[in-house]
Every structure is written in C-alpha cells, then in structure tokens.
Structure 1
Amino acid sequence: MLVFGHLGITLLFAFIVFSSLKEKLDYRFVLAGAPLPQNGRIFGHTMLFALALAGMGMYLNKRRGIGAVEALALGSLLHIAEDQMWLAQGTLFWPLLGWEFPKYDIENYAGYIIYALLHEPRAYVPEILGIAILATFILYFKLYRPERIRLFISRGSL
C-alpha cells in the first residue's frame, strides 16, 4: 500500500470501531499516523515504534488528558497491519530478532512504484479503495463545505 490506501482504510477502520464504541477520536491524528511508518520498512514498521507511540500517548493522556499521540499510535499500528508486517518478522520484532533490518533489492524504487501501480492489483486496488473511502467521507460528512472543513481542521471531528 502507498498513501491513499493507508489513509482511507485506516480512517474507515477507526471510524467504524470508535463510532460503535461511541468514543470521540481526533481523526486528524489518525490520518497523520496512517502514513507515519512510510520510511522504507525500517524503524517505523516495527512493533517497538508503535508501542513507543502508544506508551507516550497513554502517559500524556494520564498526565494531561491528551489523546493525540494515542491516535497517532493507532494510525501507525493500523499501517503496520495493512502492510502485513507479520510476514517480515525481522522488521516487525526489531531488535528482538537481531539489529539489522532485512535488505530489499530494489534499485529503482520510484520506477518500481510506478510499475506496481500500473500492473499489480496488490498495489493499485488498495489505492483506488482508499481514494473511494476518502471521497465517500468527504461527501457524507460534507467536508467540501468551508464550515465543515474548518471544524474538522480545528477539532478533528467528523
């Protein structure tokens, strides 16, 4: 997955879960956390990174009532799940399984991304799905209206 797949699918999952729990969630930080691990599948794709964010979020929430870092952690953790990082356990459980990250043999990364988006369903299907989800949220919550987008930007609520 690239950017839109992570944003849309993470937003939809968080919305379904937190709406059913009737819990408020700052969706700005969930959306900021969704692409956060995109760094070449190293530190940001580790469980340590997600747990560190969650730990900081729980500490800040207990001390100051801040839930933003927890929302970042949620977005980051969902990104790791969406990337199926359990298949790359050396990265997921770093440094427990060793200090080095697996090497990826991709010389022309930009060319690979373009090729994958044009030819591989595992790349373009999540991106199209993510764009469709984001468009649906924009239309359903009327985020095209200036007052609604201002409310989202200032409070993170839909």
Structure 2
Amino acid sequence: MLFFGHIGLTLLVVFLIALALKIGVDYRLVIVGSLLPDLIDKPLGEYIFSSIFHNGRIFAHTLLFIAVLVIIALLVAKKYRYWGFGILTVGAVFHQVEDQMWNAASTWFWPLFGWGFPQHEIDNYIMYLLSNLLSRLDIFAPELAGAVIVVAFIARFRLYRPENARAFILTGRFADRTKVKPLSLVKQ
C-alpha cells in the first residue's frame, strides 16, 4: 500500500470507531500516524542508508516500534492527560496491518530473528513504486479506495471551503453537527 490507501482506509476506520464511541479525535494525528512508518523508513532505508538496508520497511515497521509508541503514549497520557500519542500510535498500527507485516516476520518481529533486515535490490525506487501501482491490483485497489475515501471526506466536510480547511488544520476536527466529547482521561 502506498499513500492514499494508508490515509483513506485508516481515516475511515478511525472515524467510524470515534463516531460509534462518540469521542473527538485529532485527525491530523491519524493521518500522520497512518504514514509514520513510511515517513521514517522510506527515507532511511531507500535513500539515506540505502547501501546498508536496501529496504523501505525497517525499524518503524516492527512491533518493537509500536511497543515504544504505546509506552510513550501511556506515559504522556498519564502525566499530561493527552491522548495524541495514542491516536498517532493507532494510525501506525493500522499502517502495519494494511502492509500485512505479519507476512514479513523477520521485519515485524525484529530483532527476535536477528539484527538484519531483508534486502531488496531496486535500482530506481520511484519507478518501482509506480510500476507496482500500475501493474498490481493489490496495490492499485487500496490506493484507489483510499483516494475515493479522502475525496469523500473533503466533500462531506466541505474541506474545499477555506474556513473549513483552516479549522481542520488548526484543530484536527471535521466541522460537523454531530456532537462528540473530546478524548481524555477525565470525565467532562
């Protein structure tokens, strides 16, 4: 899965859960969390340290990474009563599920099976991604679905209007008539 698949599918699932629980969520953190493993691993593994890793799924695609995020989220929530890191973690968990990381056990369970990561010999990573997007239905379909979901959110919450876009950028919430309570550790 690439960009829109991660954002759109994660956004939809978290939105439906938050709606069912009637809690407010900072969707900016959902979006960042849905991309976080790739934002960390792709630059490191495919560009900065490409001669070492040759792989865009390294540290941030592991369960250890999720465990560290959970610990940070719990510590921050306990001390500051802020669940933002928890929301970020949820996005990162969905990213790993969408990438089906259990199929790459040596990466997902790193370092239990050794300190190294699988290496892939790819000359031009951008062309590799584009080729896969255009030739593999298992990559194209989630990207298309994610893009449709993102467009639907933009249309539904009128994010094309500057005031709504600005409100979303500043608060991470979608302007809606549905009343939700903010996610916190204390009852309000």
| TM-score, normalisation: structure 2 | 0.80
Partner of 1:24: 24
CA distance in 1, matches of 2:158, 2:71: 34
The equivalent of 2:150 in structure 1 is 134
Shift of 1:116: 1.0
**C-alpha distance in structure 2 between counterparts of 1:54 and 1:73, whole Å:** 7
Whole-angstrom distance in 2 between the partners of 1:116 and 1:102: 19
C-alpha distance in 2, partners of 1:152/1:111? Answer: 33
Q: What is the CA–CA distance in structure 1 between the aligned matches of 2:112 and 2:65, rounded to whole Å?
A: 13
Alignment counterpart, residue 48 of structure 1, candidates 61, 64, 74: 64
Structure with the greater alpha carbon radius of gyration:
2
How much does 1:104 deviate?
2.2
Residues in 1 aligned to 2:103 and 2:121: alpha-carbon distance in whole angstroms: 17
Distance in 2 separating the partners of 1:58 and 1:19: 23
Code of the aligned partner of 1:18: A
- Give the whole-Å Cα distance in 2 for the aligned partners of 1:110 and 1:147: 35
Unaligned runs of 5+ in 2: 42-55, 175-188
| 4+ aligned runs moved over 4 Å, structure 1 | none
Alignment of 1:57-68 (within 5 A): 57-68=73-84
- Report how far residue 141 of structure 1 moved: 1.0
Residues 66-100 of structure 1 show CA distances to partners (whole Å, capped at 9, x for unaligned) of: 22211111111100000000001111111122111
Separation of aligned partners in 2, 1:150 and 1:51:
33
1:1-158 maps to which residues of 2 (within 5 A)?
A: 1-38=1-38, 39=41, 40-158=56-174
Q: What is the deviation of 1:105?
A: 3.3
How many residue pairs get matched?
158
Report the RMSD for the aligned CA atoms in angstroms.
1.1
Contact 1:51 1:73 in 2 (8 A): no
